[in-house]
Amino acid sequence: MENVEGIEKLMDEEVGNFCGDMAEDIYSENEGPGKAMLIAPEQKKERIKKELFEAFKSMKEFFYDGLRLLYEGVKDVDPDCFEEYSIYFSEDDTLEELLSPENIFAASQQEISLQTLLSWPEELMDVLFSAAENLYQQHSFHDAVKAFGVLAILNPTMPHYWVGLGLSKQFEREDLDGALDAYYMAMALDSQNPYPCVYRAECFIILKEYNAAMFFLDMAEKRIDGVNYDDLRSYIDTLRIKNPKERR
């Protein structure tokens, strides 16, 4: 990734301009003529712009870090394909387009996925997923959170991205609430998969919220009715024993 400083400067300018336009729209909608004003309009607009700018900047930094990790990870996972796919990351124009505030805002509103917007092929997404999965398997959970987070931003309709994000957050042990949210997304996107329910139960057991844990273990068992999941059934029974009520 070359010319990083130049890209960062350009992005700050773009985001600043975009946030300025959004601040005008938000002000007009919520604080326009005829409404009581406690501070001057220009001060209010500047405050809104600053808040938006910080939000976009935080998202951009997270996204850029995760994209860098995935880019480096492709080298390890699939060296033969690295040259083919590196074009999506190494060209300044591609990064500028990917990190434009319009694209980030559209993705955050789930109006359209960034993957679709940028015409990134499924083959590339599969390689990126393998790179994120490799970080998880190496117990680099902090980096895996960023990598799976980027994949979920690129295409939030893929349940296995959310499962990967949830597992990374769960084993990082710094954001169990975030893990629970990620598993919820996976459950909603794939109503047949029992594993997100089990992972959610694991988090609730760690939090000592046993009633919630048992609820999701019950849900997992309903999802495996009639399906050969003997190992998972055995693991669910093991988790139930962790509930103090089950041990009486």
Provide the whole-model pTM: 0.73
Residue 219 lies in a domain: yes
CATH number of the structural domain spanning residue 162: 1.25.40.10
User: What's the rounded Cα separation, in Å, for the pair 148 and 160?
Assistant: 9
What is residue 53's predicted lDDT score, i.e. its pLDDT?
Answer: 55
User: Is the residue at 74 inside a domain?
Assistant: no
pLDDT of residue 32: 46
Q: What percentage of the chain exceeds 70 in pLDDT?
A: 62
Buried b (16+ CB within 10 A) or exposed e, 24-38: eebbeeebeeeeeee
Instruction: Give a yes or no: residue 220 inside a domain.
Output: yes
- The answer as to whether 3 is a domain residue is no
- Looking at every residue in the chain, the average pLDDT score rounds to 76
As a whole-number percent, the residues of the chain with pLDDT over 90 amount to: 37
216: domain range? 158-248
Q: Would you place residue 77 in the very low, low, confident or very high pLDDT band (cuts 50, 70, 90)?
A: confident
Nearest to 17 by CA among 66, 64, 56: 56
Tokens in use for 1? 């990734």
Give the number of domains in the chain. Answer: 1
In this predicted structure, what is the pLDDT of residue 36?
44
Confidence of residue 160 (pLDDT cuts 50, 70, 90): very high
Report if residue 122 sits inside a domain: no
State yes or no: pLDDT of 9 exceeds 50: no
Q: Do residues 145 and 172 touch, judged by C-beta distance below 8 A?
A: yes
Digit-coded pLDDT (tens) for 97-153: 666 666 666 655 656 677 887 778 898 899 999 999 999 999 999 999 999 998 988
Are the beta carbons of 22 and 47 closer than 8 angstroms?
no
Q: How many C-beta atoms surround the C-beta of residue 125 within 10 A?
A: 16
pLDDT, tens digit, 9 for 90 and up, residues 41-64 = 566 556 655 555 565 566 667 777
Residue 48 lies in a domain: no
Query: Has residue 29 been placed in a domain?
Result: no
Predicted local confidence at residue 95, as pLDDT: 58
**Burial (CB count within 10 angstroms: exposed 0-12, middle 13-18, buried 19+), residue 226:** exposed
Residue-level pLDDT at 55: 56
